[in-house]
Structure 1
């Protein structure tokens, strides 16, 4: 009997060792992508998204989520547009006394229906509300193909006007308004600052742009060709679809309100934080925009996060670099309400070095997630038999 138990135990240990070796081997294999090697945590998330095992708007496991009651209330409502239609907005209001500065957030999603909305990016906005303790308003602007340019820009600007005019209703301070957004939303955020300048609109304190799309024109950028397959969460085909549906007429491509990188006048715009990702087709145009913005006299803080892909901030609950980028944006916006950032010559900061303990943690979590994904795939295959 003892011999049988010993054999069983040894067999079980060998089985576990083989599983661990298999998981490690699979994760290391996934880290070798078409455009080069990526960190293992990035690798497992890219593999999971590529295999449609997770999506960017899925909730993180509870072990990665913070507990406790939120420090804000959340209200979803609709606001009128001048064309008679309405758009949804979601207001995150601190529970403490105000008035509070206001951050208006524009979600990403290629300007297209089915790619993004205020629900898919709710985790980013929740985090901004919690970290800044400001009022944060998420804007559900209308999307193409039903609503091509300039509907999204006009909706975005009118949301700014609404927030300014109705600030007292949600305990906001209309003298302290900032804008933020990711990808297509980053485009809209910076375009709104231009519209506010051109139309003598509300003063905007600062702008925080996560991997923004900055031009619809056929510009040669190395990042567009290196990472355009779609494996890095955004593809050339999606970018072409966005251009075809959002800017169907070629003369729209050079409009400063679609392609701020090509704008002739970038003067008198609010200070900007521009965050880009190494493995992102939009990386180079985001950084190029930061440079021309700085050359026009705007204080620009530009940071590239190496080792991560487009949309990485959406994964902040399981990616340390996503959390760091969100922390940086929250601090930047909060401090800009207190004092305007000083102008300095353009410099791109590279976030690359990772503390040894954090790197070890990332590797351990990557193998754990990899094991879960392999198990999920195995169960799926067995179920299909």
Structure 2
């Protein structure tokens, strides 16, 4: 299927994004930030949005807490933004956190984890895991239910969410009710086949960009074998939380995203994998105006609500 007509029209009026390897990291971060904060937010109402810091393994971690309208206690979801582990912050994917909080009727703790190349693997994961533990331990204080914890993320954040779900299972706590992953690949490095070749030149994300982000993120190639970098490489996937995985059709890493689904299914994990026609990597960030993004958010929220309801019944 061709690129979504609305996206095609949008890209036609913009200069082509240059290969990120040629852009200094500070410039790249500011460019992504400035373009992201101009995007319209979803038209949702929330009870409150507040910023604070929480304890982390290497100092305080900034977080933003979104509380839905209605009567709690609510489920609590730790959310991790995308950006290749190199760019992104609490503002760049604020729209996704808002949509998730309202649509899934969950408190969302959005995490401003440490970024590469200043902080190499596994720094980002360590911050996200600390935030997941904090969200569970402090759920009641936030107006949440400590028995209803979820993890969610987009792109790099989806990898982090998948990894946190694995470690939560291994650690025995917190019990994760659902994991949501918008276009975060299950394996690294990205296999150079299928969608990686078909969409090697984008739009939006090039295969070379994905490789470069990981060059900045990892210390050496042995990190690729760590489940915190490649969730598919975990020794076992049995007993994991139900998973929602969203893939963009016109995305070089699409196949690496979707590949995690059959692995989970084979291990007996409830999983829903959905490919969104005509969409590109990062499309959920256009939640404020793009129907495909709105569909992907609605699907993820419906999945989360279903899992929260099931968890309440078994609690």
Q: TM-score w.r.t. structure 1 length?
A: 0.73
Partner SS, residue 101 of structure 2: helix
| Pair member with larger Rg | 1
The residue number in structure 1 matching 2:95 is 123
- 2:49 aligned with 1:74, yes or no? yes
- Alignment deviations for residues 92-118 of structure 1 (CA, whole Å, 9 cap, x no partner): 113433211111111100000xx2112
Give the drift of 1:331.
1.1
The 2-side partners of 1:65 and 1:135 are apart by: 17
Give the drift of 1:164.
1.1
The residue number in structure 1 matching 2:204 is 233
Gaps of 5+ in 1: 1-35, 341-385
Matches within 5 A, 1:341-356: none
**Aligned mate of 1:221, from 193, 207, 218:** 193
**Aligned mate of 2:295, from 281, 302, 324:** 324
The residue number in structure 2 matching 1:357 is none
Contact kept? 1:49, 1:55, Cα under 8 Å:
no
The 2-side partners of 1:162 and 1:178 are apart by: 12
The higher relative CO (CA closer than 8 Å, separation ≥ 6) is in: 2
- 2:108 aligned with 1:144, yes or no? no
**Aligned mate of 1:188, from 153, 160, 164:** 160
- 2:244 aligned with 1:273, yes or no? yes
Label 1:49 to 1:328 Cα distance change in 2 as closer, same or farther (>3 A): farther
**Aligned mate of 2:10, from 41, 45, 49:** 45
The 1-side partners of 2:298 and 2:7 are apart by: 19
**Aligned mate of 2:105, from 95, 117, 133:** 133
The residue number in structure 2 matching 1:313 is 284
Partner SS, residue 93 of structure 1: strand
Corresponding pairs, count: 296
- Alignment deviations for residues 123-178 of structure 1 (CA, whole Å, 9 cap, x no partner): 11111112222211111111101111111111111001111111122111110011
RMSD, matched Cα: 2.0
Partner SS, residue 35 of structure 2: coil
Label 1:66 to 1:217 Cα distance change in 2 as closer, same or farther (>3 A): closer
Contact kept? 1:46, 1:233, Cα under 8 Å:
no
The 2-side partners of 1:218 and 1:167 are apart by: 36
Label 1:48 to 1:119 Cα distance change in 2 as closer, same or farther (>3 A): farther
Label 1:310 to 1:270 Cα distance change in 2 as closer, same or farther (>3 A): same
Partner SS, residue 246 of structure 2: strand
Label 1:47 to 1:86 Cα distance change in 2 as closer, same or farther (>3 A): farther
The residue number in structure 2 matching 1:156 is 128
Gaps of 5+ in 2: 18-30
Contact kept? 1:217, 1:254, Cα under 8 Å:
no
Contact kept? 1:197, 1:269, Cα under 8 Å:
yes
Matches within 5 A, 1:2-81: 37-48=2-13, 50-51=15-16, 55-60=35-40, 66=43, 70-81=45-56
Q: TM-score w.r.t. structure 2 length?
A: 0.88
**Aligned mate of 2:138, from 153, 160, 166:** 166
- 2:283 aligned with 1:299, yes or no? no
Partner SS, residue 116 of structure 1: coil
Deviation larger for 209-218 or 175-184 = 209-218
Contact kept? 1:56, 1:315, Cα under 8 Å:
no
- 2:78 aligned with 1:104, yes or no? yes
Contact kept? 2:189, 2:211, Cα under 8 Å:
no
The 2-side partners of 1:117 and 1:337 are apart by: 27
Contact kept? 1:132, 1:330, Cα under 8 Å:
yes
Give the drift of 1:202.
0.4
- Alignment deviations for residues 7-58 of structure 1 (CA, whole Å, 9 cap, x no partner): xxxxxxxxxxxxxxxxxxxxxxxxxxxxx84232120233345457993442
